[in-house]
Amino acid sequence: MLLEDLINGLLFGATYSLVAIGFTLIFGVIHRLNIAHGATIMVSAYAGAAVSILLGGKSYGALLAAFVASVTTGATLGILIERVAFRPLKDAGYLAPFATTAGITIILEELFLKLSRVVPIFHPEYTPFPSPLEDLSFHAGPIYLRGVYVVIFIVAIALMAALGFWVDRTRSGRAMRTVEQNPLVARLMGIDVGRVELTAFAVASGLAGAAGCLIGVSVGTVGPFMGTNLLMISFVVIVLGGLGSIRGAMVGGLVVGVVESMTVSLLSARYKQAVLFGLLFLVLVIRPEGLLARRAVVRD
Amino acid sequence: MTHPSLPPSSNPSRRHVLLAAAFGVYAMCASGAQAFQDEGTVRIGSVESLTGVSSPYGIQAINGMKLAIDDINAAGGVTVGGKKVRLQLTPGPDGYDTGADSALTIALLKKQILDDKVLAVVGPTSSQSTEVGFNYLNQLVKEGNPIVLLSPASGGPNLGGISPWGFRNMFFEAQIIDRELALVSKEFGYKKAAVFTVTDNAFTASMAKFVIRPGLEKHGLTVVAEGDSLSRDTDFSRQVQALQRAEPDVVFVSAPVQATVGIMKEAARRGFKPKIWLGTVGSIAPEMPQLGGTAVEGLVIGSSYLPSSEHVKGLTAAYQKRTSSEINLFGVNGYEAAYLLKAGIEAAGIENRPETLTEDRRKLRDALTKVEIKSVTGEQIKFDAKGDTVKQGYLLTVRDGQYVEWNRKPFR
C-alpha cells in the first residue's frame, strides 16, 4: 500500500513539477514572481476543456487538440502578461509586478466566473473536461494506477526533458541562461534581453498551459479558482528546490507529490498543508538556498 | 471659459464639472434618493458572496431575491401603514459583494446599518461568514443598533440561536437525514457506514460532526471507516482505498460538489460499490449529475423542494429567462427570503420613516418570529425559536442524469 502511495505521489507530483518549472523559469530570468501563473493554468485549462467539449471529448484526437489549445493559450497569455504587467514596470520596485500580476489573477478569475455563467458549454461552478483518459485505470501487480497519472507523468517528463535540452543545448536557451546570470553582460554580448524575457514567459506559460490541460483531464473538471491552490503548492516546490532552479523545481514537485500522498495515507488530508509547510520551514532553516540550488560562494 | 469669481487654480474645467455631476448622481443613488414612506419605498440590504469561492451560492441567492422583489413590486409592493410601497434592494443592482470574506461582511453590514439605512439585510452566503455575522449582531445589540440578518444560503448546524436577530431560511437537513438513516438502518438492515468529509469547509465539517456521525450512532450504524480531504483536493485514491477496505454498506459524503464528484468517480474506477451513497445539500448543483456521469447515479440527497414540482415551474422558467442558468436550492431560498421579509414587514406595523428606523427594525424582528407564509415551493414555512425555518424536505436521487424523487428503495 505504501508502495502504491509512493508511486501515485510520484506520478501526480510530475504535474506539480510542470507548474513549478514555469513559475521558477520566469523568476530565474527576471527575478520577479509571476503571481498570474496560477490564473494562466486556469485559463489554459478552460481553453482545453472548451475544445474537448466541442469535439465530443471522448477521442484521443480531441484530447490532443485540447492539449494544443491549452499550451497555445498559455503561451499567448504569458506573452500578454509580460507586456502588460512586467515590461512597463521594468524600473519599478521589486513588489510592483507582484501587485500587477495579483490584479491580473483576480481579473481573470472573476472574468471566468462570469463567463462560466454565460458561455453555454460552461457550467457555473465547475465545467467538465471530458477525455478518454478519465476512467482509465489498471493494476500493475498489486498496485492500482490511474491511467491519466501515468500519461501525466510521461508527458511531464517529456516536456521537462525538452525544456532541459532547450536550456542547455540551444542558442536561445543559452542566451536565456546568460540573461538569468547577468542581464547587463548579456546585453553587452549583444543578446536581445527583452526578446529573451518574452521567450521565457511564452515557454513558462506554455508549460503552465500543458499543466492546466493535464490537471483538468485528471480531475475531470475545471473551475475559475483552480489555479490559486496550484500556485501556492508551486511556491513551496520552487523554494524547496531552490528559487530559479529548473532541476530543483522538477525534483521539488515530485517530493511534494510523494509527501502529500504519504501524509494522506498515514495521517489525514487535513495535515497535508501542515506537513508541507513544516518541510518548507525545515528546508529554509537547514538549507535556505533550496535542496538543489548551488550554494552561494562568499568571497573575502 | 473660467468662472470670474474663482481664483484661476480653482476654476472648474469642463472635465471637473462633469466629474462633479457624475459624483452627484452617484451620491444620490448611493444614498437612495428615493427611500422611506414619503417616497414609497422600503430599503432592503444584501451582503452575499458574488465573487470568490462561495459565489455560486451567493449569486443564486441574490438572483432569486431580485426576482422576488420584482414580482412583489409588480404586484403592487408591500403594504405599510395602509399604503403600498416598493421594496428597494440597496445598493442596487445586486447589494454588496462580500467575496466570502467574513471581515468584509462585518464592515458591509455596518455600512448597511449606518450609511444605507436599510430595514433588514439578506445574507451572508457561507456558514463561516454567517456565524461571524450572527455573533456581530449581538455586539450591535449592545451598541443599540441591531438589525435583522436573514441568510438564505448558510446551512451549517448550530448557527441558529446565536443571536435573536439572526434568521435563516436555508433547508436544514438534520430531520431528513434522521429519517433516511432510520430507513437504511431499520428497513434495509444496513449496519456498517463510512463517512467522507471535506474538513476545511465550515458547512460540510459541521454537518459531519453534529448531524451525520450522531445520526449514524443513533440508528445503530457502525462507522467502520472515515476519510477526509480539503476543498481544493483533486486526488481521492487514498481515501477511496481506505473506505473500500472497510466494506461499508453506506457511505455518507459531506462535501461540496467537486469533492463529491471526485470521490464517487474514483470509487467507480476502483469498482467500489457500497449499497448506498448518501450526501448533503453541499453536493447539490444543477451540473452535478453531468459532471459525475454514471458514477453519481444513485446518490441520495435531501432537498427543500422537488425540482419537478408544479409549484416551482414558473420560478424555474423565470430564473432561466433572467439569468440564462438553472435555478437551484439557493436561488429558491433567495426568492423565498424576500417573501418572508414582505410578510414580516406587513405584520410589523412599521412606520418606515428615517427617524423610526431603529424601532422599525425591532418591530420587524419581532414580527418575523411569528410570520408564516406559503413558500414558492408550496410548503407552509415559519421560523422556529432559533430563527431557522423548518422544512419537511424531500429525498432526491440522481437517475439518468437528473435529480428525481427517491422511491425509498435500496439500489443494490
> A221 and B258 in contact by Cβ < 8 A?
yes
Q: Which residues of B touch A124 (CB under 8 A)?
A: 56, 59, 285-287, 325
Chain A residues near any Cβ of chain B (below 8 Å): 1, 4-5, 8, 12, 110, 113, 117-118, 123-126, 128, 134-135, 137, 144, 146, 215, 218-221, 223, 225-226, 228-229, 261, 264-265, 268-270, 272-273
Specify if A257 maps to a domain.
no
| Confidence grade of residue B6 (pLDDT, cut at 50, 70, 90) | very low
Q: How many CB atoms lie within 10 A of CB B16?
A: 11
Q: What is the pLDDT of residues A271-290, one digit of tens each?
A: 988 999 999 999 999 988 88
Q: What is the mean pLDDT of residues B63-73?
A: 97
Q: What average pLDDT does the structure give for chain A?
A: 89
In this complex, the residue of B238, B285, B325 whose CB is nearest that of residue A117 is: B325
Specify if A247 maps to a domain.
no
The predicted structure's pLDDT at residue B409: 75
For chain A, what is the domain count? Answer: 1
Q: What is the pLDDT of residues B101-151, one digit of tens each?
A: 899 999 999 999 999 999 999 999 998 999 999 999 999 999 999 999 999
Determine the distance in angstroms separating the CA of B237 from the nearest CA of chain A, rounded to an integer.
9
CB of B222 within 8 Å of any CB in chain A? no
Q: What is the pLDDT of residues B308-348, one digit of tens each?
A: 889 999 999 999 999 888 898 999 999 999 999 999 999 99
Q: Which three cell numbers stand for residue B83?
A: 399604503
Poorest-pLDDT segment among A79-88, A137-146, B202-211: A137-146
Q: Write the CA distances from A133 to A62, A73, A258, integer angstroms.
A: 11, 22, 22
- Chain B residue nearest residue A221, CA to CA: B291
C-alpha B355/C-alpha A59 separation (Å) is 68
Q: Write the CA distances from A98 to A77, A198, A230, A260, B356, integer angstroms.
A: 17, 17, 17, 28, 49
The string of DSSP letters for B173-196 reads -HHHHHHHHHIIIIIS---EEEEE
Q: Which residues of A touch B228 (CB under 8 A)?
A: 268-270
C-alpha B47/C-alpha B98 separation (Å) is 6
CB of B94 within 8 Å of any CB in chain A? no
Residue A20 and residue A41 in contact, taking contact as beta carbons nearer than 8 Å: no
- Residue-range definition of the domain harbouring residue A96: 2-227
> A221 and B59 in contact by Cβ < 8 A?
no
> B285 and A124 in contact by Cβ < 8 A?
yes
Q: What is the mean pLDDT of residues A113-132?
A: 87
Specify if A289 maps to a domain.
no
Q: Which three cell numbers stand for residue B307?
A: 425540482
State the DSSP H helix or E strand holding residue B42, giving kind and residue range, or none if neither.
Answer: strand B41-48
Q: Which three cell numbers stand for residue B132?
A: 461571524
Q: Which residues of A touch B261 (CB under 8 A)?
A: 126, 220-221
Residue B173 and residue B389 in contact, taking contact as beta carbons nearer than 8 Å: no
Determine the distance in angstroms separating the CA of B285 from the nearest CA of chain A, rounded to an integer.
8
Q: Cα B24 to chain center, whole Å?
A: 35
Specify if A258 maps to a domain.
no
Strands (E) across B110-156 are located at 120-122, 148-151
- Chain A residue nearest residue B284, CA to CA: A125
Q: Which three cell numbers stand for residue B48?
A: 452575499
Q: What is the pLDDT of residues B233-273, one digit of tens each?
A: 888 988 998 999 999 999 999 998 889 999 999 999 999 99
For Cα atoms B53, B55, B56, give the angle at the middle one, nearest 5 degrees.
Answer: 100
The per-type count for chain A, helices as H runs and strands as E runs, is: 11, 4
Q: Which residues of A touch B285 (CB under 8 A)?
A: 124-125
Specify if A263 maps to a domain.
no
Phi, psi dihedrals of residue B164, rounded to the nearest 5°: -65, -10
The predicted structure's pLDDT at residue B283: 86
Specify if A295 maps to a domain.
no
In this complex, the residue of B52, B199, B290 whose CB is nearest that of residue A128 is: B290
The predicted structure's pLDDT at residue B43: 96
Determine the distance in angstroms separating the CA of B348 from the nearest CA of chain A, rounded to an integer.
38
> B230 and A135 in contact by Cβ < 8 A?
no
DSSP B10: G
Residue B65 and residue B152 in contact, taking contact as beta carbons nearer than 8 Å: yes
Complex-level ipTM: 0.79
Between residues A232 and B77, the one the model is more confident about: B77
In the predicted structure, residue B2 carries a pLDDT above the cut 80 = no
In the predicted structure, residue B1 carries a pLDDT above the cut 50 = no
The string of DSSP letters for B217-254 reads HHTT-EEEEEEEE-TT----HHHHHHHHHH--SEEEEE
The predicted structure's pLDDT at residue B412: 52
CB of B99 within 8 Å of any CB in chain A? no
CB of B235 within 8 Å of any CB in chain A? yes
Q: Which residues of B touch A1 (CB under 8 A)?
A: 241
In the predicted structure, residue B24 carries a pLDDT above the cut 80 = no
Q: What percent of chain B has pLDDT over 90?
A: 70
> B235 and A135 in contact by Cβ < 8 A?
no
> B56 and A125 in contact by Cβ < 8 A?
yes
Q: What average pLDDT does the structure give for chain B?
A: 88
The predicted structure's pLDDT at residue A59: 93
Q: What is the pLDDT of residues A147-188, one digit of tens each?
A: 888 998 899 889 888 988 988 889 988 998 888 888 888 889
Determine the distance in angstroms separating the CA of A267 from the nearest CA of chain B, rounded to an integer.
10
> A218 and B323 in contact by Cβ < 8 A?
no
pTM for the predicted model, two decimal places: 0.79
Q: Which residues make Cβ contacts (< 8 Å) with residue A5, sequence separation at least 6?
A: A258, A261, A262, A264, A265, B238
C-alpha B232/C-alpha B20 separation (Å) is 46
| Confidence grade of residue A53 (pLDDT, cut at 50, 70, 90) | very high
Specify if A200 maps to a domain.
yes
> B230 and A5 in contact by Cβ < 8 A?
no
The predicted structure's pLDDT at residue B26: 44
Specify if A269 maps to a domain.
no
The per-type count for chain B, helices as H runs and strands as E runs, is: 14, 16
C-alpha B344/C-alpha B347 separation (Å) is 5
Q: Which residues make Cβ contacts (< 8 Å) with residue B345, sequence separation at least 6?
A: B42, B78, B80, B119, B364, B367
In the predicted structure, residue B199 carries a pLDDT above the cut 70 = yes
State the DSSP H helix or E strand holding residue A6, giving kind and residue range, or none if neither.
Answer: helix A2-30
Q: Which residues of B touch A273 (CB under 8 A)?
A: 230
- Chain B residue nearest residue A133, CA to CA: B269
Residue B158 and residue B214 in contact, taking contact as beta carbons nearer than 8 Å: no
- Chain A residue nearest residue B51, CA to CA: A110
In the predicted structure, residue B55 carries a pLDDT above the cut 60 = yes
In this complex, the residue of B55, B228, B285 whose CB is nearest that of residue A269 is: B228
C-alpha A215/C-alpha B408 separation (Å) is 38
In the predicted structure, residue B25 carries a pLDDT above the cut 50 = no
Determine the distance in angstroms separating the CA of B178 from the nearest CA of chain A, rounded to an integer.
27
The predicted structure's pLDDT at residue A31: 82
CA dihedral for A29, A35, A36, A41, sign (positive or negative): positive
Best CA proximity match to B374, nearest among B410, B412, B343: B343
Q: Which residues of A touch B241 (CB under 8 A)?
A: 1, 4, 144
Residue A178 and residue A28 in contact, taking contact as beta carbons nearer than 8 Å: no
The predicted structure's pLDDT at residue A114: 85
